[in-house]
Homo-oligomer: A and B are copies of this chain.
Amino acid sequence: MTGPALPASTVNRRIVLAARPHGEPNESHFRLEETRMPTAQQGEVLLRNRFLSLDPYMRGRMSAAKSYAEPVAIGDTMVGATVAEVVTSHHPDYRVGDSVVGFGGWQDFYTSNGNGLRKLDPQTAPVTTALGVLGMPGMTAYTGLLTIGRPKPGETVAVAAATGPVGSLVGQIAKLKGARAVGIAGGPKKCAYLTEHLGFDAAIDHRSESFADDLAAACPKGIDVYFENVGGAVFDAVLPLLNTFARLPVCGLVSGYSATDLPAGPDRIPLLMRAVLSKRLHLQGFIVWDFASQEAAFLDAVGGWLRDGRIRHREDIVDGLEAAPEAFAGLLKGRNFGKLIVKIA
């Protein structure tokens, strides 16, 4: 920013994409800017972001390659879901003080005509749950597991990044459906949390040297549903354990998001395809909005389980918008413990 400082009351701090990372992102790829606070026009609301969700998909938006969504342009505000409060309303459906969840981005303020906003009732559930267990990650777990994974009682469901907001719900819903839940996480602390607090049947530390053997031992009847969040070495350990007719909702591949090269050979595509054929595997990629029509059913089901204490969730809240870049870099390395949220001052 150049020019004279703006009066504090009218400043919008925002974090923009400064450069596209080649490999792992770090703070140099972001820039904190101060701009003028936007103004709500007729039919719009002005929103102050209170909580920003940090999620692995954001790594994809930092790259130039078009995936299922357009990349963030250099110099543009980083995208992300936020819980915000209405500051000014020129929209009949919103009043000052209302809490909403929307796609507010890495910044203090934004305006909206109401499209993509959902009003929150802080009496029903803490507003931050709208970014995690009752938000996009929760709905990802719910729709991917039940629509593609379809666990049956007695089957084994394995999920990695299992203490994260998606994985933790995948395992808990699997249990509610009568399946055996095996979680994969990094380190003994997270593993203990899975079995002691979330009711997983087993938890395996992917950092252990005996990881593949440990996973096999924890899945004596093989794996019927593997909810894919991470790829890489975890997928390699899962593949030989998959049962005939196993289902693999492919939700994320976070271990490879910052990879700059393919791994060394041989090329194992024929090996994977042979497994698909001989085990009649069902692999299916999805993003949560493919199942947008299930949103009401999701909120109803998971909201109910949450109120009844049948599922638990965990948040990892970091303080201040300026802390977002470092927290995001840590997310891609599994440093968070629970749903990663930035509390915007």
Q: A residues near B, CB below 8 A?
A: 60, 67-68, 228, 231-232, 235, 244, 250-253, 256, 259, 261-287, 290
- A266-B267, A272-B269, A274-B253 given; A244·B68 CB < 8 A: yes
Query: Taking the nearest CB of chain B, how far is it from the CB of A58, in angstroms?
Result: 15
Query: Taking the nearest CB of chain B, how far is it from the CB of A273, in angstroms?
Result: 6
- A162 to B252: give the CA distance in the assembly, Å: 34
* Residues on B with beta carbons closer than 8 Å to the beta carbon of A231: 270, 273
- A266 to B251: give the CA distance in the assembly, Å: 24
Q: Can you show 16 pairs from A to B with CB atoms below 8 A apart?
A: A228-B273, A235-B269, A235-B273, A253-B270, A256-B270, A262-B266, A262-B268, A263-B266, A263-B269, A264-B267, A265-B266, A275-B285, A276-B283, A276-B284, A279-B285, A282-B284
B262 adjacent to A271 (CB under 8 Å): yes
A250 adjacent to B273 (CB under 8 Å): yes
* Residues on B with beta carbons closer than 8 Å to the beta carbon of A68: 244, 278-280
- A231 to B266: give the CA distance in the assembly, Å: 16
B284 adjacent to A280 (CB under 8 Å): yes
The chain B residue with its CB closest to the CB of A68 is B278
* Residues on B with beta carbons closer than 8 Å to the beta carbon of A268: 262, 267-269
- A262-B271, A266-B261 given; A282·B283 CB < 8 A: yes
The chain B residue with its CB closest to the CB of A264 is B265
- A278 to B69: give the CA distance in the assembly, Å: 9
Add 19 more A-B contacts to A280-B286, A282-B283 (CB < 8 A).
A67-B278, A68-B280, A250-B273, A252-B277, A253-B270, A253-B277, A256-B274, A262-B266, A262-B268, A263-B267, A263-B270, A264-B265, A264-B266, A265-B266, A268-B268, A269-B272, A279-B285, A281-B284, A282-B285
- A257 to B278: give the CA distance in the assembly, Å: 12
